[in-house]
Amino acid sequence: MVRLIWIMLLLAGGTPVCFGQLTAHRVQLGQKVPDYVVSNILNNGVPNVGNVNLNNDQLLILDFWDTACAACIKAMPKMEALQNQFAGSVRVLAVTHESRSKIEKFWKANSFLSKIRIPTVVEDSVLSRLFPYVARPHLVWIRNGIFVAQTNGDYATGEYIEEVLRGGRLDWAMKNEIPDFDYSQPLVFARTHAGDTPDFKEYDVLLGHQSGVRGHLGIYRDTVSGTIRGVVLNMPIAHVYFQLLRKSMGWDAFSSLKRPATFITPNQLMDCDDIPYHHLFYDRQVDRNKPEWDRDNEISFETMFVDSGQTDSAVYRRMLSELDRRLGFGIRFERKRIKCLVLRDYADGGYGGTQFDMCGVGDTAAFSGPITNLIYELNQCRLVPPVFNESDRLSGQSNVELVLAPDSDIASINRQLERYKVQFVLAEREVDMMVVVKPTS
C-alpha cells in the first residue's frame, strides 16, 4: 500500500458578472444560482423550448460545447437519449459562445448532429462566466436552483442522474480547474517557526492527486538558490515511469525499443502479483469512471537537490531512483518474448481465423478509418496482447470499415477483414514490456 501525503489546492471566489440589472459572482458549488432567464436559444427541432430560468424545479444540465470540441459533439446523442429517458424531470441545455448563424449552419451540415434534438444556447457570454471552465466537455448540474455538481462527460449516465434526483450529498470527483497554476513554483513551501524560508537545498515528497491541476512532468532550475526541482503532477504511476524512462534514456535509445505504440498503452504493462494493476494504470474496463479513478490513484511527486551541472537525463534518472524509494517498487522496460497479435497479409483461400477473446469496446459502433486507428484501439485493451501491423496490403493510413461490438473477439474482426485479404494471427515477438521491479539497494 502506498502511503500518500495529501495537499488541497483551493480555488478562490470569482469575478463579478453583470447582466441587465443583476450582478452576481461566479457561482460556487452548493450555492443557489441567480434568477436568470436564458433566452437566446436555438431549439434544433425541439418544440416549445421558450426561455429557460436557471432557478427552476427541474434538474438542469448545462452542456458547454463548441464546434471544435469533437468529444462534445460525439456525446450529443447520449445527452439526447438521457433527456428523453428523464423527460419531465431533466432538461439538457447545450451552451456555446459561437454565433447563431454559425451553429445553425454547422448543425444542419454535420451528419452527426443533424438528427439530434437538443436545444442550445448561442452567443453565450453569461453562463460561461457564472460557471467558468478550462477544458471541455464541461457539465454543470443545477437541481431545484442549487448548483450541485460540475463534471466532465463521464457522469452523463442514467445512474448518476438518478443519484442527483434522489438528493443528498454527492461523493463525486468534481471538475475543478485552476487556469493559471504556476508549475515553476514548489508544491511544498516549508517554513521555519519564524516564518522565514529555511536554508535547505534537498528534499523529496510524494503526494496524492492535486485538485484543479492538469497533469505535468518537468524540471525547473533555480539559478539564484543553485537548486534543481523535479516535479510530477497528477499522473498515473505507470505514466510517470514511462515518461521518466523515456526522458532519461534519450530519444535514440527509446526509439530503438520494440513496442506496439509510441505512447504507453494498457497492454504494455505486465501484471504483478504484489502491486494491483488498477493502482498503476487506468483500465477502461473497471466499473468506475475515470475522474474518480484519477482522484484516488494519480500521484504527484517533487524532489529538490543541489544543481551541480547535471544533465536533464541525469535529473530524470535521479527522479526515478527517488520515486522507487518512496513507492517501494519501480517500473522498468524489459525485453520479453511473448505472444502478440500480428496483422498479416494472406493469399486467396489462406484465411484462418484466430480465436482470441478481447475486452469489450463499449457500445456497438461502426468503425471507419485508418488501420493504425484500429490497431490503436486494440492496444487500448488490457486483455489483448501487443498488436503490430506487418501487413503490406494495409499500410498505416489504409482505411478499413467494420463493426465493433461489446462482445467482439479477434475471430469476428478477422471475418470482417477478409475482403482486405489480411488477418490477425497470434505470433511470438520480442517486445520491450513495462515490468514492476523491486529497487536494488
pLDDT of residue 190: 46
* Torsion angle (degrees, nearest 10) of CA 221, 223, 225, 229: 0
Distance CA 211, CA 192 (A): 26
Task: Report pLDDT for 110.
Answer: 85
How confident is the model at residue 362, as a pLDDT?
55
Give the pLDDT confidence score for residue 364 in this predicted structure. Answer: 58
Record the cell numbers describing residue 48, joined without a space.
Answer: 416549445
Quick one: CA torsion of 365, 371, 373, 379, rounded to 10 degrees? 90
**Alpha-carbon distance 115 to 94, whole Å?**
15
Per-residue pLDDT tens listing for the chain (441 residues): 343 333 333 333 344 433 343 454 789 999 999 988 888 898 876 655 668 888 888 899 999 999 999 899 989 999 999 999 999 999 999 999 999 999 999 998 987 788 889 999 999 999 999 999 999 999 999 999 999 999 999 999 999 999 999 998 999 999 998 888 899 888 876 444 445 555 567 899 999 999 999 999 999 999 998 999 999 999 999 999 999 999 999 999 999 999 999 899 999 999 887 888 889 998 877 657 899 999 999 999 999 999 999 999 999 999 999 999 999 999 999 999 999 999 999 864 444 445 555 555 555 567 888 899 889 888 988 888 999 999 988 887 788 998 877 677 788 888 899 999 999 999 999 999 999 998 665
Largest CA distance in the chain: 83
Compute the distance between CA of residue 76 and CA of residue 69 in angstroms, rounded to an integer: 11
Least Cα distance to 380 among 265, 260, 253 occurs for 265
Would you say 250 and 258 are in contact if contact means Cβ atoms under 8 Å apart? no
Which of 171, 111, 330 has the alpha carbon at shortest distance from 242? 330
Closest CA to 99 of 80, 70, 121, 83: 121
Please, what are the domains in the chain? 17-166 (3.40.30.10), 203-329 (no CATH), 336-437 (no CATH)
Burial of 102 (0-12, 13-18, 19+ CB in 10 A): middle
Cβ atoms of residues 120 and 152 within 8 Å = no
Would you state the pLDDT for residue 291? Answer: 93
